[in-house]
Structure 1
Amino acid sequence: MTTDGVAKSATRNTTTSTGHNDTLRQVIVVVSAVLAIIGGFVGSGAAGGQAVQVASGGALAADATPIAPGGPAFSIWSVIYLGLVAYAIWQALPGQRTVERHRRLGYWVAASLLLNAAWILSVQFDLLPLSVPVIALLLVVLVRAFFITLATRPENLVDTVVTDGTVGLYLGWVCVATAANIAAVLADAGFRGFGLGLDTWGVVIIAIAGAVGVALALRGRGRIAPTLSLSWGLSWVAVARLSGDLESTPTAVAAIVAVIAVVVATIVLRLRERRSPELSARR
């Protein structure tokens, strides 16, 4: 075989291998989305099991800890699941098969879907301590996915909404859920907060969550989606602390202040980001 023949053969093999890997990635994302939907169905209690809020002895109920969101907060999962299904379909289209953005993002999204299903199962089977490393790993995976959306440009409005919007909403909510999950496990284990009151711990954790929200706004240059879901979760923490069985005015006020801080930071950064190209053009 000539040198040109070897080169052409190598090129064909590379193309075939890449195409096969792209198709495999697309299939894995779709299958992971299906498994996540099934897990969400089980977690809702519709399949005969317990809803997440009442599973594991009610450790994740709205009145279990000072930073537990009110029950309606979990309705955001319907939007997130819808976005994840939309992304699974979008990235599976023939025209998206070789898009570099999906090559870099697809497996991370698939991992998040499987971890989400694993988290639901850990709670459903009363393995509450196991839920903490699972949701922590989920958070890490989503942060990585978020960074990839920042580093790669969406090709159109559909990609912006389906990809960036879904990953952002998912990440913002999981930030709140992670804090609530850790607090629930500590409370269930009998942790008493080193003598500090529930109000103090509530304010401290909410302040951390608010700082994370501002950090996401900074890193995302004013991305709206993470702010929407994180603010949604913190708002329902405030509602639960003002009207639920476990009232805590200091925690509620801290949650409201955190929401305002995150929203204002996002708006300011987004306006600055929009002005930057204009200023550059004038110069």
Structure 2
Amino acid sequence: MKAWLVLIAALAFGVAPFITEGFAGFRPDQFPIPQDDAPVQPAGYAFSIWSVIYLWLLLHAVLGAFKFAKSPGWEATRLPMIVSLSIGAVWIKVATLSVIWATVLIWAMLLSALWALFAARNANPGWALRLPVGLYAGWLTAASFVALGLVGAGYGLGSGPGLGQVGWAFLALTGALAVTLIVLSRTRVWTYGFAAAWGFAGIIVQNLGSSPGVAIAAVAATLLVAGSVLKQLRR
């Protein structure tokens, strides 16, 4: 039964961009302090990774329902994937209405996706289970910290007048990097690191010529994660 619920949730998740406005980042005017060209938000092209995520997760769900319905390794991932994908099916619509709720929900998506990733780390076949879940969870890691950085800057959170866009960008990068390296070391799923590094690379592009400090920090984060991914692939 859970295998079919994962498939239904994956279908709803994949259809959502076509029946909503789509999403390529929050609008500047969604915040009390408009976030024009926010340094924490990746360049628009980076969101294209969703196409790969949607297709791979759909393949994962189809195989799970028809070929691995009784696999204990797959079963352990199903409840968290149902939760994460079900939230994801409504997330784009929520993101156009409320930045706060979108941030809360994307963190719920991330936590449940990480739960699934840890449950899947020893299950097979990896290309159908660990790798798509890892890609999904890795992008959500980057996106969740981006959302946190945007809310922090957009609502002026922090001591005194607030940390500002650049300060929150540094905090978000640091948090995302720390989580990424920890999860990579525990799960050894290279697609997780690749997706997070893709997000960091998008931040590099976003800040070229505008916020060199953030761009340099994003370069460092990308290189650290890339190094960890290469180490995992060599094992």
| Shared fold (TM-score, shorter chain, > 0.5) | yes
Which residue is equivalent to 2:184?
A: 217
Q: 1:173 aligns with which of 114, 130, 139?
A: 139
CA shift, 1:111, in A, is 1.4
The equivalent of 2:168 in structure 1 is: 201
CA distance in 1, matches of 2:74, 2:123: 11
CA spacing shift, 1:56–1:67, aligned 2, 3 Å:
closer
Paired residues for 1:108-123 under 5 Å: 108-123=80-95
Q: Which has the larger radius of gyration?
A: 1
Aligned pairs for 1:261-276 (under 5 A) are 261-271=224-234, 274=235
Letter in 1 for 2:172: I
Write the letter of the residue equivalent to 1:209. Answer: A
Identity of aligned residues (%): 25
The letter for the 1-side match of 2:90 is A
Residues 1:56 and 1:253: Cα distance change in structure 2 (over 3 Å): closer
CA shift for structure 1 position 55 = 5.2
Structure 1 residues 84 and 194: alpha-carbon distance in aligned structure 2, compared to 1, 3 A threshold:
farther
Match for residue 92 of structure 1?
65
Instruction: Flag the 1:55–1:146 CA change in 2: closer, same or farther, 3 A.
Output: same
Q: Secondary structure at the match of 1:161?
A: coil
Moved more, 95-104 or 180-189: 180-189
Secondary structure of 2:14's counterpart equals helix
CA drift at 1:209 = 1.6
Shift of 1:37: 1.6
Structure 2 spans left out of the alignment, 5+ residues? none
State the aligned residue count. Answer: 232
Secondary structure of 1:96 counterpart: coil
TM-score (norm 1): 0.75
For CA contacts below 8 A with separation 6 or more, give which structure has more relative contact order. Answer: 2
After superposition, the Cα gap between the structure-2 partners of 1:85 and 1:140, relative to the gap in structure 1 and judged at 3 Å, is same
For 1:148, give the aligned amino acid. Answer: A
Q: 1:42 to 1:192 in 2, by over 3 A?
A: farther
Name 1:103's counterpart in structure 2.
75
CA distance in 1, matches of 2:45, 2:221: 19
Counterpart CA distance in 2 for 1:251 and 1:270 is: 28
Letter of the 1:167 partner, please give it. Answer: V
Structure 1 residues without counterparts, runs of 5 or longer: 1-23, 275-283
Hey, what's the Cα distance between the residues in 2 that align with 1:265 and 1:219?
Answer: 12
Aligned AA (1:178): S
Deviation per CA, 1:216-266: give whole Å up to 9, x if none: 221123x210111000000010100115xxx21000000000111111123
Given that residues 63 and 240 in structure 1 are in contact (C-alpha distance below 8 angstroms), is that contact kept between their aligned partners in structure 2? no
Contact 1:52/1:120 (CA < 8 Å) preserved in 2? Answer: no
Partner residue in 2 for 1:79: 52
Aligned partners of 1:214 and 1:266 also within 8 Å = no
Normalised by the length of structure 2, the TM-score is 0.89
The offset of 1:140, in angstroms, is 0.8
